[in-house]
Amino acid sequence: MRRIRAAAAIAIVTSLATAATGCGGGEGGTGSDASPKTLTYWATNQGANIEADKKILTPELKKFEKETGIKVKLEVVPWANLLDRILAATTSGQGPDVLNIGNTWSASLQATGALMPWDEAAFEKIGGRDRFAEAAVASAGAEGQDPAAVPLYSMSYALYYNKKMFEEAGVEKPPATWDEMVETGKKLSKDGKWALGAEGSNLSSNIHQVFALSQQHGGNFFDASGKPDFTSDANVAAVKQYVDLMGKNKIIAPGNAEYAQNQSLQDFARGKTAMVLWQSAASTFKAHGMKDEDWGVAPAPVQSGTPGQGRQVNSMVSGINIAVFKNTKNLDGATEFVKFMTSHEEQKILNGTYGSIPSVKSAQQDGAFDTPDGTVLRETLTKSAAPLPQVANESQFETAVGTAVKGLFADAANGRPVTTESVKAALSKAQQQMPK
């Protein structure tokens, strides 16, 4: 009897399961124009907080509604949830019509096939690919494929420094090379104050920094065929150089090894550290009560010479892309909305508010971005920034290598030696965790 009942229970379970699997996940269908009057838009958190983002975006969306009659339903998705939400949308086919993505995710998300590819025809509808900065478009999908998104906001790294602390330590100009950084740093790091801030437990931040350094050493984290190549001499040298700023050179405070929530900006604003490598930090400094004349900005350091392409790269191309979800029921409206968001006018307004750099060339040249840090960020972006590897396994790479660097920082902070061997071992472990 008991066996029969158990069998019956199993039968019910399996039949339900088959029913659930039968109707599958996201249907492979492409977009339609079934509901042309509304759009759902997932924005990323760019402003001080989510409410601030809503206040900034809502008037613009109203403008769009006035122009086209399409009502945009806005949801600002916190960064902590964004990837999970995109995953949910991808597997189920139930998602927004238009969404923002971090540009480093482009290739990963492109591989799922959930985003509409931007071929020539699609780009034509929003004014052509040429309107956008080349580096920004290059960060919107794997090489040789149609981009999975369109660049919306662009950012790059710059070196922010505290003018007063420089003055007190007798430093005249911000360091332009890493050697100068160490030398300057030693002058600044004393009496409980430190030269440079770092977010040692923030995986993305670690990746961004070691990527630029790896470029300067002539390295790359993926070979030409897209296979991981973490343990090359250049990569080992890059990671070691970054971690040595804390361990060997002692110009980063050991406490920074556990920072992951932008505590280094707070330290900077409080005059505890003299420099940070950051992307568009002006508005945050203001929020922390720093006056604009308190801080200066310079290009991020290189090994020698001046920033440029190749070995003189001093920043990754950072930014936000806007993508159209393939299952949209309003394809034309979605395209129209992307066109609106990337129009000269909106690029000026939104990037101006957020402190980022327009990804549309015409808007970049606008006088509104000639602020001290705007100029540096724009110069870096156009002349000496390179996109992170656009490979499908980018998120695995960030996790594996970012965690390795985090671990090395923990070693350095605890006074354990960080050697070429230990760096190589950490990177090799990271590489073995990558999917085959």
Residues 113-132 that bind another protein (CB under 8 A): 113-114
Interface with another protein, residue 304, by CB under 8 A: no
Encoding tokens for residue 180?
């100068």
Q: In the complex, what is the shortest distance from the CB of residue 411 to another protein, in angstroms, rounded to a whole number?
A: 9
| Residue 267 structure tokens | 């330290």
Distance CA 295, CA 109 (A): 38
Q: State which amino acid sits at residue 387.
A: P
Q: Among 12, 124, 128, 365, indicate the residue that binds another protein (CB under 8 A).
A: 12
Q: Which stretch binds another protein (CB under 8 A): 10-18, 56-64, 131-139, 147-155?
A: 10-18
**Are 221 and 230 spatial neighbours (Cβ–Cβ below 8 Å)?**
yes
Q: How far apart are CA 102 and CA 253, in angstroms?
A: 29
The span from the CA of 203 to the CA of 83, in Å, is 15
Asked if 225 is part of the footprint of another protein (rule: CB under 8 A), the reply reads: no
Q: How far is the CB of 309 from another protein (least distance, A)?
A: 29
Q: Does 23 bind another protein (CB under 8 A)?
A: yes
Q: How many residues does the chain have?
A: 436
With contacts defined by CB under 8 A, name the span among 116-124, 162-170, 256-264, 361-369 that binds another protein: 256-264
CB of 3 or CB of 66, closer to another protein: 3
Contact set for another protein, span 26-85 (CB under 8 A): 26-28, 45-46, 48-51, 75-81, 83-85
- How many C-beta atoms surround the C-beta of residue 75 within 10 A? 13
Minimal distance, residue 17 CB to another protein, in Å: 4
Choose which of 57, 70, 203, 341 interacts with another protein (CB under 8 A).
Answer: 203
As to burial, measured by CB atoms within 10 angstroms (0-12 exposed, 13-18 middle, 19+ buried), residue 12 is exposed
What is the C-alpha to C-alpha distance for residues 270 and 358, in angstroms, rounded to an integer? Answer: 30
Please identify, using beta-carbon distances, which residue of 132 and 221 lies nearer to another protein: 221
Closest distance of CB 408 from another protein, Å: 11
> Which of residues 27 and 167 has its CB atom nearest to another protein in the complex?
27
The DSSP result for 307-318, as a single string, is --SGGG--EE-E
Task: Please give the span between the terminal C-alpha atoms of the chain, in angstroms, as a whole number.
Answer: 49
For another protein, which stretch binds (CB under 8 A), given 104-112, 139-147, 176-184, 338-346? 104-112
- Of residues 65 and 258, the one with the C-beta less far from another protein: 258
Closest approach, Cβ 433 to another protein, in A, equals 5
Count of positions on this chain that bind another protein (CB under 8 A): 86
Give 177 or 403: the residue with its C-beta nearer to another protein: 403
Beta carbons of 148 and 109 less than 8 angstroms apart: yes
For every residue of 267-292, DSSP letters joined together read HHHTTSEEEEEEES-HHHHHHTT--G
CB 317 within 8 A of CB 160: no
Q: Tokens standing for 345?
A: 């006018």
Stretch that binds another protein, among 24-32, 155-163, 167-175, 419-427 (CB under 8 A): 24-32
- Which of positions 358-397 make contact with another protein (CB under 8 A)? 392-393, 395-396
Q: How many CB atoms lie within 10 A of CB 36?
A: 16
Tokens at 431, concatenated: 């590489």
To the nearest whole angstrom, how small is the minimum distance from the Cβ of residue 262 to another protein?
A: 6
